Amino acid sequence: MKKHSATLSTLGIFVILAAAAPWLVGDGGVALLFEVLLMLTMAQLWNLLAGYTGLVSMGLQCFVGLGGYTTIFAANTFSVSPYWVLPLAPLVCGLIGAVSAPFLFRLRDAYFSISTWVFAEVVAMLVFITPGLGHVTGMTLETAREIDYETFLLANFWIAAALAAGVVTGIFALLQSPLGLGLLSVRDDDVAAASIGVNVWRNRFIAYVAAAAGCGLAGGISFMAALFITVTTAFDLNWVVAMIFTVIIGGIGTLEGPIVGVAIYYGIRALLTNVFALSGSWYLVTLGAIAVITMLVAPRGIWPFIRDRFGIELLRVSRKLVDDLPHAETNAITSKTTANSRFLDYGSD
Amino acid sequence: MGWTGTIVNGVLLGGLYGLFGVGLALVFGVTRIVNIMHGEFIALSAFIALGVSSLLPDVHPLVLIMPVVIVSFALGYALQAVLVNRSMRLPDPLAPLLLTFGLSVIVRNLMIEGFGVNPRHIRQGDFGQLSIDVFGIPVGVLPVVTLMLAVTLFVILQLLLRRTELGRIVRATADNAEIVRLMGVRPASVYNIVMGLSFALAGVAGLMLALRTTFTPFSGVERLLISFEVVVMGGLGSFWGAMLAGIALGVAQLVGLRLNPNSGFLYANLVFFAFVMLRPNGLFGTRQ
């Protein structure tokens, strides 16, 4: 399979670059890339929800914060290295995502978005008033002192790189599977999808729990590296604002979109704050202006705009009807929807 | 101050919350746009009111309503005409939401650059602190005025929509924008007016907020959440629903703060959740 070898070689190049990064870009570069990779992970997860299942969440910061608190609290409580308890972050977040989803899914569209934000605020406030979680002063990761700082930085970077690669590959693989086809159909028209036998609720549930767990892990890594956590930074609305920004600028509902968006997000920051020495608020004004212009000129985002102009497709998840589809189940769905090719080949309209 | 006082003050605070939400409910009801900028505009109006009051220092704060309403209406009208209508032509329903999202980030950060992040307040003599005694409960004059103003504006809005030519056109456009075209109405012009009205209401809310408390460029985000909750609880496009939702949130917040001074908006958020789980379409949502 040509497609698979291309994917594997891309992954291989990423692994080599990530492994060599400390020698290629130095400590400052590694610190920046660490941030970029975590942002990319979160943006891909927001995109999985909003771009593929139509769940526009404004509350993913809830899981970023919970992941951070879980990791630091567990490491301090059990007096172990944070790496041992890091898996708890996605576990706790996935669980809370799974428990809250049936309630949040009762609400649709904008109501869902607003309720996820309210949910995040409630969780933040509960963490704030729970004794033993630091209240206003926050919590410091005490067990990190035993680890050599240089090693700690590098290890964190590699974990973040692995997470980003894992999430992108995972979503890529998911979208190629029958379940992914179901997700794409839910995105395009949930009523039509349901009518041909796609379990809309289950697809959304899986995507939501995956996004919760993924954001939890990203939050855990982020705050483990920061060595310190407070409610204001952990449950900051800006987490989800950044995810939304990168995805809509780059291109919602595409795998490449968030990558382009994250590159622009950090590229503009470097340009404005380092080269032009402007303040952070001018940076955000610029980002806002880019988002507004993107919405007016290329509302599907920069990546789809470029792709349609030049016909490039890097991580192809759209399906052509002539393809020899490997799964019987996929074929069954395909044959029912041949009348509407846009349904399957989303990329070319 | 006993529990009765807490509840009375919660109801009065609810008047302000209802005012936050009603403009958003209007736009949502007519254009189906979730205007993320609404909160930023409430904060911006507070700054506009501050600017006007420093130009006219001897004028009673409540007289500021007129200039604030006019400026806000013009801004809302222009915003809809220049930017939002463009994005509404696109097939993607997310486009206007994301457009206002981008605008909200621009407006907030321009306010940070222009006005700084220190809390501001409007100098207004002792009007903000005035309080009267009703059956032994001290009640602030300003909150009472706010609630009365909110109710008055709701009545005016209701009359405007139910009894006038413009109101009929707005309601018809909300029901079916394609059909009103056949009757010679341009939906885009209707949306301009609706956004103008929504901004005017947000402007009044911002003014009342500025009179009540200190504010910063960050005040908008918090108010956006309250506005959202009011709209969702009240039901689509329902103004009395918005008013009652505001009151429910105001009472829940003050009762919650009395139970636990650290809880902030927690109890109001919990009331919101309990409510939407029981009635996912809002208080008066079944009508639409």
Tens of pLDDT, residues B15-57: 999 999 999 989 988 888 888 899 999 999 999 888 888 887 7
Model confidence at A328: pLDDT above 60: no
Q: Among all residues of chain A, which has the CA nearest to that of B84?
A: A296
Q: With respect to residue A17, please indicate whether it lies within any of the assigned structural domains.
A: no
Confidence band (pLDDT; 50, 70, 90) for B1?
low
Would you mind telling me the total number of residues written for chain B in this entry? 288
Q: Given this model, what pLDDT does residue A35 score?
A: 92
Q: Do B276 and A107 make contact, defined as CB atoms within 8 angstroms?
A: yes
Q: How far apart are the first and last CA of chain B?
A: 42
The more confident residue out of A60 and A342 is A60
Residue A36 lies in domain: 22-330
Chain B residue numbers with beta carbons less than 8 Å from the beta carbon of A296 are: 83, 86-87, 99
Q: With respect to residue A265, please indicate whether it lies within any of the assigned structural domains.
A: yes
Distance of residue B135 Cα from the nearest chain A Cα, in angstroms: 35
User: Is A162 touching B (CB cutoff 8 A)?
Assistant: no
Count of structural domains, chain A: 1
Q: Given this model, what pLDDT does residue A313 score?
A: 66
Q: Given this model, what pLDDT does residue A3 score?
A: 58
Give A272-319 pLDDT, tens digit per residue. Answer: 888 887 877 888 899 999 999 998 888 888 888 888 887 766 666 555
Give A235-263 pLDDT, tens digit per residue. Answer: 999 899 999 999 989 988 888 899 999 99
Q: Do A299 and B95 make contact, defined as CB atoms within 8 angstroms?
A: yes
Residue B251 lies in domain: 3-287
Q: With respect to residue A164, please indicate whether it lies within any of the assigned structural domains.
A: yes
Dig out the tokens for B280 from the structure: 């996912």
Q: Do A118 and B272 make contact, defined as CB atoms within 8 angstroms?
A: yes
ipTM score above 0.90: no
User: Is A292 touching B (CB cutoff 8 A)?
Assistant: yes
Q: How far apart are the first and last CA of chain A?
A: 26
Q: Among all residues of chain B, which has the CA nearest to that of A279?
A: B113
What is the rounded CA–CA span in Å between residue A219 and residue B127? Answer: 47
Chain A residue numbers with beta carbons less than 8 Å from the beta carbon of B113 are: 279, 281-282, 285
Residue pairs spanning A and B at CB distance below 8 A: 115
Q: How many CB atoms are closer than 10 A to CB A217? A: 32
Chain A residue numbers with beta carbons less than 8 Å from the beta carbon of B100 are: none
Dig out the tokens for A301 from the structure: 């985002």
Q: Residue A274 maps to which CATH number?
A: 1.10.3470
Q: Given this model, what pLDDT does residue A61 score?
A: 95
Chain A residue numbers with beta carbons less than 8 Å from the beta carbon of B101 are: 244, 248, 291
Q: How many CB atoms are closer than 10 A to CB B146? A: 26
Q: With respect to residue A305, please indicate whether it lies within any of the assigned structural domains.
A: yes
Nearest residue, CB atoms, A115 vs list B92, B94, B276: B276
**Among A166-170, A220-224, B172-176, B246-250, the least confident range:** B172-176
Helix (H, G, I), strand (E, B) or coil at A312: coil
Q: Given this model, what pLDDT does residue B211 score?
A: 87
Q: With respect to residue A335, please indicate whether it lies within any of the assigned structural domains.
A: no
What is the rounded CA–CA span in Å between residue A57 and residue A234? Answer: 17
Count of structural domains, chain B: 1
The DSSP call for residue A228 is E
Give B153-189 pLDDT, tens digit per residue. Answer: 999 998 998 899 999 999 898 888 888 888 888 889 9
Q: Given this model, what pLDDT does residue A100 score?
A: 94
Model confidence at A344: pLDDT above 50: no
Contact between B171 and B178 (Cβ < 8 Å): no
Q: With respect to residue A349, please indicate whether it lies within any of the assigned structural domains.
A: no
Q: With respect to residue A15, please indicate whether it lies within any of the assigned structural domains.
A: no
Confidence band (pLDDT; 50, 70, 90) for B288?
very low
The pTM (predicted TM-score) of the whole model is 0.86
User: Is B263 touching A (CB cutoff 8 A)?
Assistant: yes
Question: Can you list the alpha helix ranges (DSSP code H) found in B59-121?
Answer: 65-79, 85-88, 94-115
